[in-house]
Structure 1
């Protein structure tokens, strides 16, 4: 399972959907994920990929982690995995 598929699976689980029902263009809000659900998704992503996500739940628009869509989240996770595992 690649990074994108794993991110989709985590987000789908949070939204109580099947991964096949989640499309890259959907936002967390489109999937019915509220701010608490988003934070839980971020924690699950951090744990699954052993990365630290620069995400502030109180100011999600700040920082370097794009949460505008499933694809944006997956892209950001792929970048963080490369950056943080390359320096490890």
Structure 2
């Protein structure tokens, strides 16, 4: 897991949840952090912009998307996968 990807995602999620970055953990869910559906959309847009990637439109449905948003760790892994596809 790339530290820079993880750090950027932690920062984005912390900003959306109005928390300190230290409050965000890999095992945290967005729900645990108080991020609602609007916050999720804003987080996804911020992640897309930060990494110059395109998150699948069906990311909120894990049965239809490879982009898993069930936890911070899964988001980091999914972003790393999309970033590596661009390389």
- Both structures adopt the same fold (TM-score exceeding 0.5): yes
Give TM-score scaled by structure 2 length.
0.89
Partners in 2 of 1:4 and 1:66 — Cα distance? Answer: 15
- Structure 2 gaps of 5+ residues are none
Match of 2:48 among 43, 46, 49: 46
In structure 2, the partner of 1:22 is: 24
Runs of 4+ in 1 over 3 A off after TM superposition: none
Superposed displacement of residue 3, structure 1: 0.4
In structure 2, the partner of 1:82 is: 84
Match of 2:13 among 11, 14, 17: 11
Superposed displacement of residue 29, structure 1: 0.4
Give TM-score scaled by structure 1 length.
0.88
Partners in 2 of 1:55 and 1:32 — Cα distance? Answer: 22
- The count of corresponding residues between Structure 1 and Structure 2 is 84
Counterpart check, 1:64 vs 2:66 = yes
SS at the partner of 1:63? coil
Superposed displacement of residue 55, structure 1: 3.3
- Structure 1 gaps of 5+ residues are none
